[in-house]
Amino acid sequence: MLYRNTNIGKIVSFSLLAAGLVLYSAPAALAASDVVTKYDKDSDKTLDLAESKAAAGAAFDKLDKDADKTLDPKEAKGAVGKKEFKAGDPDKDGTLTKDEYLAIVEQLFKKADVNNEGTLDSKELKSKAGRALERLID
């Protein structure tokens, strides 16, 4: 009887522990790298430039509401900061083409990739440049 009780106790405390682990790790895993998991085509847990550009290209098409192949400041709002918009519009026509948009992506990517390995992990995406990049690709 005593033996059985102890066993149940073990099972109960193990389940509680397991439940606790699930509760503890679930939000952390979600927060860790939403954007990475979303666009990480080769599943190496990082984003390389090609993956970032592919995602950014799709994001550009979504932002381009009037489908004129450029983003005006209104369309770019929320994705491209004012400063980035200005810097990313070298021909100063007040709109961003996809090439200009992807050039901003590349620039931010290189800025966020502090150790220059050509990939961004979820930690690097939390940097200032990384977060700006996230807005461009997501």
Site residues (vs Ca ion, CB under 5 A): 40, 42, 44, 64, 66, 68, 75, 89, 91, 93
Least distance from C-beta 84 to Ca ion, angstroms?
Answer: 13
Least distance from C-beta 7 to Ca ion, angstroms?
Answer: 46
Q: Pick between residue 2 and residue 67 the one whose CB is nearest to Ca ion.
A: 67
Q: Pick between residue 42 and residue 61 the one whose CB is nearest to Ca ion.
A: 42
Q: What is the 3-state secondary structure (H, E, C) of the chain?
A: CHHHHHHHHHHHHHHHHHHHHHHHHHHHHHHHCHHHHHHCCCCCCCEEHHHHHHHHHHHHHHHCCCCCCEECHHHHCCCCCHHHHHHCCCCCCCCEEHHHHHHHHHHHHHHHCCCCCCEECCCHHHCHHHHHHHHHHC
Least distance from C-beta 63 to Ca ion, angstroms?
Answer: 8
Q: Pick between residue 18 and residue 49 the one whose CB is nearest to Ca ion.
A: 49
